[in-house]
């Protein structure tokens, strides 16, 4: 379609044409023309957050749970700078966002005008791409291009900075026909000869392992299905990063659990001892590899990723395949089937026997307590209560995040939203808000810590206003738990500023916002409290008082190899704790 519109009208029409149903935002002077257009239409629902950081994380949760591009709208200056944290978070975790920011009029740019900042300069390091629109003629193309860049290739956040005079100006609007970018054309199909080599390498393996990441989920449900097909064909063990949970079902026989710093013993040992490793849509980050010079030293490594810059960036691989993992996995499954070859079970029987031995360590075991709620037990009980329900889980960042990854089993993709790369405290609650906006009738639960939840607690007001029945399960140990755990391991148990002495009454706080509050501090009352949280028709703060000094194990101490893990049954050894992290490792935490 082409017709005359103001810049503000173009923004709303472009969102319509891109299939946007919801945006998250907070108004200010530099975006008032766009907000005026929002007022005059009913196609797109605007969710008024209480802080721009909340808008960004809500858009992330929306995008991660739907596979769509999340959209946020903020004003210039502090509105844009408050959105920097979620933009950086989305870049690290490959979440497709379009962030529309207002800017002072073009004639005032560079004059230190009121609420001016160099949004392009500030956000350049934490976005996939950004635009400053100086001419109305460019606005329609840039808006459509922004969505193309955000969702294609390795997804990520894109900023479109629109000066106020451009919002008022009139020009010709063009719809999204044949939208692309003049230089950005990501490779989708993998090289078929390389895929054939990968299949041959896998067929010859005696100790194979498949290592999947968030890229599988980003590629879509079809990619996750192809991954499951590959596992069904091969019978090979599979592990996953924090961001990849749900791509393969946790109930699957071949599932080893999550790998990495707080991953399972069997997953990390299998990665170390394998002879062929297939890495799919993951990036060998430091929380996975441990000490690089000791990472899976005797394996042939195959890496599939749509981002060529991720290949050989951290770990040198033997075979690289650049392409969308969904397309590459489809080719891999097709070639495997066409070969008519099946790996003889006898070829990997010894490998599976070794994995069974590692599994017998029961690395997630913890000491139960009849008087105090153990955090692991709280999540085990929650997992039982939500089985079979249409549930989405988000988390804040810390010990509770790792326990959630360990004890909640994800059977499907797009059901797990967490901040993996940036590790953003305050992410989970607004992310849950975004998930609930997209899935109004689903059960959405944020697993929170008492410190993290207070970073974006004001969004409870947004949940009440829009009747978003998000449940927040706070594992309240009155500490910044992961910081305390590191202080115990690194700094002689000197808990500097990690204990929260002025803890609010979360039940009263929920009541003040018009939500529902629950408190539970005894294991005998836990099931009833979880049932009450799930059944309540509205937003809930559940203050679950857990053991104050529980630590999260297994753990790869910083600076150690990924097969050199500290397990819970060793954690009571004072000498092991005191020497777990050396001087070199202290620098890596």
Task: Please list the active-site residues.
Answer: 52, 114-115, 164, 482
Torsion-angle region of 365 (φ positive above 0: left; ψ -120 to 50: alpha; else: beta): beta
Residue 223 · residue 325 · CB < 8 Å: yes
> Long-range contacts of range 580-586, CB-CB < 8 Å, 24 or more positions apart?
580/489, 580/555, 581/489, 581/490, 581/557, 584/559, 585/557, 585/558, 585/559, 585/560, 586/490, 586/558, 586/559
In 125-224, the DSSP E strands lie at 129-132, 157-163, 170-174, 208-212
Give me 580's structure tokens.
């777990």
Cβ contacts of residue 13 below 8 Å, gap of 6+? 5, 173
DSSP 308: G
Torsion-angle region of 540 (φ positive above 0: left; ψ -120 to 50: alpha; else: beta): beta
Q: How far apart are CA 229 and CA 33, in angstroms?
A: 50
449-to-302, 304, 353, 381 alpha-carbon distances in Å = 37, 35, 38, 17
Which pairing describes strands 443-449 and 391-395: parallel, antiparallel, or unpaired? parallel
In 56-134, the DSSP E strands lie at 70-74, 97-103, 129-132
Q: How far apart are CA 512 and CA 161, in angstroms?
A: 37
Which pairing describes strands 170-174 and 2-6: parallel, antiparallel, or unpaired? antiparallel
Q: Which residues pair with residue 445 across a beta bridge?
A: 393, 471
């Amino acid at each position: 379609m082409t017709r005359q519109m103001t810049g503000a009208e173009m923004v709303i029409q472009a969102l319509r044409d891109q299939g946007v149903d919801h945006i998250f935002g907070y108004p200010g002077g530099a975006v008032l023309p766009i907000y005026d257009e929002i007022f005059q239409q009913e196609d797109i629902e605007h969710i008024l957050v209480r802080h721009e950081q909340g808008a960004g994380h809500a858009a992330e949760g929306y995008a991660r749970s739907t596979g769509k591009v999340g959209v946020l709208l903020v004003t210039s200056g502090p509105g844009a700078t408050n959105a920097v944290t979620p933009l950086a978070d989305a870049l690290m975790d490959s979440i497709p966002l379009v962030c529309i920011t207002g800017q002072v009029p073009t004639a005032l740019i560079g004059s230190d005008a009121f609420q001016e900042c160099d949004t392009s300069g500030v956000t350049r390091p934490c976005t996939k791409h950004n635009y400053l629109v100086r001419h109305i003629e460019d606005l329609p193309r840039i808006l459509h291009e922004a969505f193309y860049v955000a969702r294609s290739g390795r997804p990520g956040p894109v900023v479109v900075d629109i000066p106020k005079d451009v919002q008022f100006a009139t020009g010709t609007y063009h719809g999204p026909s044949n939208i692309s970018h003049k230089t950005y054309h990501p490779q989708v199909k993998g090289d078929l000869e390389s895929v054939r080599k990968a299949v041959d390498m896998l067929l010859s393996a005696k100790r194979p392992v498949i290592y999947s990441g968030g890229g599988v989920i980003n590629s879509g449900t079809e990619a996750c299905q192809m991954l499951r097909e590959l596992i069904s064909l091969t019978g090979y063990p599979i592990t996953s990063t924090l961001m990849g949970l749900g791509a393969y079902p946790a109930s699957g026989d071949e599932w080893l659990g999550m790998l990495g710093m707080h991953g399972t013993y069997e997953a990390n040992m299998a990665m170390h001892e394998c002879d062929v490793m297939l890495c799919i849509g993951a990036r060998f980050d430091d929380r996975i590899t441990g000490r690089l010079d000791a990472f899976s030293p005797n394996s042939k490594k195959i890496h599939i990723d749509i981002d060529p810059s991720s290949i050989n960036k951290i770990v040198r691989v033997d075979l690289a395949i650049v392409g969308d993992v969904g397309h590459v996995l489809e080719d891999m499954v097709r070639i495997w089937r066409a070969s008519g070859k099946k790996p003889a079970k006898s070829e990997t029987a010894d490998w599976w026997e070794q994995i069974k031995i590692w599994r017998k360590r029961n690395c997630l075991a913890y000491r139960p307590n009849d008087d105090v709620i153990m955090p692991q037990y709280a999540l085990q009980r929650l997992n039982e209560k939500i089985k079979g329900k249409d549930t989405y889980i988000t988390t804040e960042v810390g010990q509770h995040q790792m326990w959630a990854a360990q004890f909640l089993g994800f059977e499907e993709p797009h059901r797990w939203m967490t901040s993996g790369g940036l590790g953003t405290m305050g992410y989970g609650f607004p992310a849950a808000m975004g998930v609930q906006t997209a899935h109004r009738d689903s059960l959405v639960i944020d697993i929170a810590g008492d410190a993290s939840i207070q970073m974006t607690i004001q969004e409870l007001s947004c949940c009440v206003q829009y009747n978003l029945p998000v449940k927040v399960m706070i594992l309240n140990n009155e500490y910044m738990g992961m910081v305390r755990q590191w202080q115990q391991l690194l700094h002689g148990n000197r808990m500097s500023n990690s204990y929260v002495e002025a803890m609010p009454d979360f039940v009263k706080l929920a009541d003040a916002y018009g939500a529902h509050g629950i408190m539970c501090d005894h294991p005998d009352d836990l099931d009833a409290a979880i049932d009450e949280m799930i059944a309540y028709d509205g937003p809930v703060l559940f203050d679950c008082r857990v053991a104050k000094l529980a630590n999260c194990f297994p753990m790869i101490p910083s600076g150690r190899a990924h097969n050199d893990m500290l397990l819970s049954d060793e954690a009571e050894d004072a000498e092991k704790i005191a020497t777990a992290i050396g001087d070199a490792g202290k620098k890596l935490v």
